[in-house]
Amino acid sequence: MKAAVVTGTEVVTIQEVDKPVLKDDEVLIKVATAGVCGSDLHLFRGTHAFRKPPAILGHEVAGDIVEVGKDVKKFKVGDRVTVEPHLGCGVCEFCKQDLVNLCTAKAAPGTPKWIGAFVEYFNAPEKTLYKLDDKVSYEVGTLIEPLAVAVHALERAQVKEKDCVVILGAGTIGLLVQVVAREMGYKTIITTDTARFNRDISLKLGAAAALDPLSEDVPAKVKELTEGRGASLAIIAAGADNILDQASACVRRRGEIGLVAMITKKIPFYCYSVVFNEQNIYGAMTYETRDFKKAAEMVNGGLDLDLFVTQKINLERSQEALDVLSRKEENVIKVIVTV
């Protein structure tokens, strides 16, 4: 079968690879769609923490079950599904608390333990599967994974007041956080993005304001829109040198800051602001299974995410799919690879 493999820095090659051999608790999925994610870009650019070339791209996937292992109980051939793409060791202190995202021995697609999703056939254990409602397109089904990241980012917050959330960065993740915040009942949602296209989408999705951090004073605007109080929560979904300072300045006393963006270099931060204002900072890494379940329920319940799919590109042209997201020369939120 065909697979899109990163074979060198910014080089994707279509190669023939073996179809996965099923374990008893697994199903084989004929892949319909796979999403290009920021972590695929890291692999593409050679900056990923654990995926190194040669590696098959992709972990956001939707398709049809074409084969089931003998121990599979709840799924059958023909079911349309998506996959929660991580598998814990099952015995560590984190797995015991259902925190697969924190398991240091977890298996993830695109590593020697599990094939990547930019392939014709993808294997997955039954316990990682979620059915897609007939009304849900494969494209939108593929978005359940990043939607689960957004659910987790907000579920990690402990602040009780749901009056105002500021989302710094309105790319795929920031915009999905916006959608989830709206569903959770946040009254005022303010976003920022340097790209006009992203700000426009955010406004279409109902943001009270979508600010340009390069030309507007973001904390001042947030204060203006919250009667001087500031936001109860800021979610960081973009990387910039001033992003932590900006988040802290947007948030009120006893407010919270959630870090979702993967900022892997050191950035300056005036931390006294956190002390003086008694703010909390937390990190959010992928999702727990309950977050993924909630994301799947939202999509199966009719959550409209069609706006997010800006490009559809065939597997054979995976190089172009990665280039589009990497170069950002055209308006892009989510690139979906079709198989």
Question: Distance of CA 88 to CAs 29, 101, 128, 246, Å?
Answer: 21, 8, 11, 35
Number of residues this chain uses to bind ligand NAD (CB under 6 A): 25
Q: Which does 92 bind (CB under 5 to 8 A by kind): ligand NAD, Zn ion, none?
A: Zn ion
Cross-strand bridge partners of residue 137: none
Toward Zn ion, which CB reaches closer, 92 or 203?
92
The piece of 115-123, 131-139, 231-239, 267-275 that touches ligand NAD (CB under 6 A) is 231-239
**Of the candidate residues 49, 66, 77, 89, the single one contacting Zn ion (CB under 5 A):** 89
Each residue 46-75 as x (binds Zn ion by CB under 5 A) or -, in order, gives: --------------x---------------
**Of the candidate residues 27, 36, 37, 159, the single one contacting Zn ion (CB under 5 A):** 37
Toward ligand NAD, which CB reaches closer, 211 or 315?
211
25-54: which residues touch ligand NAD (CB under 6 A)?
Answer: 38
Toward Zn ion, which CB reaches closer, 38 or 213?
38
Pair of tokens at residue 231? 């936001």
Q: Which does 262 bind (CB under 5 to 8 A by kind): ligand NAD, Zn ion, none?
A: ligand NAD
**Of the candidate residues 12, 95, 159, 176, the single one contacting Zn ion (CB under 5 A):** 95
Does 303 bind Zn ion (CB under 5 A)? Our answer is no
Toward ligand NAD, which CB reaches closer, 253 or 328?
328
Does 248 bind ligand NAD (CB under 6 A)? Our answer is no
The piece of 54-62, 80-88, 181-189, 257-265 that touches ligand NAD (CB under 6 A) is 257-265
3-state SS record for the chain = CEEEEEEECCEEEEEECCCCCCCCCEEEEEEEEEECCHHHHHHHHCCCCCCCCCEECCCEEEEEEEEECCCCCCCCCCCEEEECCCECCCCCCCHHHCCHHHCCCCECCCECCECCCCECEEEEEHHHEEECCCCCCHHHHHCHHHHHHHHHHHHCCCCCCCCEEEEECCCHHHHHHHHHHHHHCCCEEEEECCCHHHHHHHHHCCCCEEECCCCCCHHHHHHHHCCCCCEEEEEECCCCCCHHHHHHHHEEEEEEEEECCCCCCCCCCCCHHHHHCCCEEEECCCCCHHHHHHHHHHHHCCCCCHHHEEEEEEHHHHHHHHHHHHHCCCCCCEEEEEC
Does 213 bind ligand NAD (CB under 6 A)? Our answer is yes
Toward Zn ion, which CB reaches closer, 104 or 215?
104
The piece of 79-87, 89-97, 254-262, 313-321 that touches ligand NAD (CB under 6 A) is 254-262
User: What are the residues binding ligand NAD (CB under 6 A)?
Assistant: 38, 149, 168-174, 192-195, 198, 213, 237-240, 260-262, 284-286
The residues that touch Zn ion, with contacts defined as CB under 5 A, are 37, 60, 88-89, 92, 95, 103
